[in-house]
Structure 1
Amino acid sequence: MSDIKLSTDETDRIVSKIKTYFRDELDQDIGGFEAEFLIDFFAKEIGPHFYNQGLADANRVFTEKAEDIGYLIQEMEKPTF
């Protein structure tokens, strides 16, 4: 897995959400610099868990669709007798 890269716009939006969360839920102010450190921390420490879950979800969907295709192919078989 490569490092998570966010655009400047994405980072700015996430920083804003973190600052709002800290203010509204924790009654604390947090600066943009600190919020960016939190983003980096979460991306590094928690990001792989979400990434792996995404892969597992994609694999499940792929397996289900491949099974459906297998049934469709079987339905196309011609009788041999």
Structure 2
Amino acid sequence: MTVEIPKDLRPQAIQSIERYFQENMDERIGNIAAGALLNFFVEEIGPLIYNQAVADVQERLQARVSELDIEHHEDPFQYWRKFDAGKKGRK
């Protein structure tokens, strides 16, 4: 799977890189260079972050699935217990 930044959010990401350089580096970075740097990070590091997010979600889902039997367990053969309990209350 290719990691991509939505087209409508890409300009904000580029502006953020430009601002980071402006406030933290000795030199500024232009729009084209910031876009190229963004492409590099998305292609090079994006999959690492994506894979970790998938692993985190998988772990959480497995934990939830393992709890299903506890949360939604119903004891079988309850009809006669209810019936017998009703009889005791009538005597």
The interval holding the TM-score normalised by the smaller chain is 0.7 to 0.9
Matched residues in 1 for 2:4 and 2:47: separation? Answer: 13
Tell me the TM-score normalized by structure 1.
0.84
Amino acid at match of 1:77: D
Deviations 1:11-37 (A, max 9, x none): 100011100101111131101100111
Asked if residue 42 in structure 1 is aligned to residue 47 in structure 2, the reply is no
Equivalence for 1:28: 27
Q: How many correspondences in the alignment?
A: 78
Tell me the TM-score normalized by structure 2.
0.76
Matched residues in 2 for 1:73 and 1:9: separation? Answer: 43
Equivalence for 1:77: 75
Supply the RMSD in Å over aligned alpha carbons.
Answer: 1.6
Gaps of 5+ in 2: 79-91
Matched residues in 1 for 2:6 and 2:61: separation? Answer: 29
Equivalence for 2:81: none
Please list every run of at least 4 consecutive aligned residues from structure 1 whose deviation after the TM superposition is greater than 3 angstroms. Answer: none
For the 8 Å contact 2:21–2:29, the answer to whether it is kept is yes
Q: CA deviation at 1:79?
A: 5.3
For the 8 Å contact 2:18–2:28, the answer to whether it is kept is yes
Matched residues in 1 for 2:23 and 2:38: separation? Answer: 18
| Structure with larger Rg | 2
**Identical residues among aligned pairs (%):** 27
Q: Which protein is richer in helix relative to its size?
A: 1
Equivalence for 2:88: none
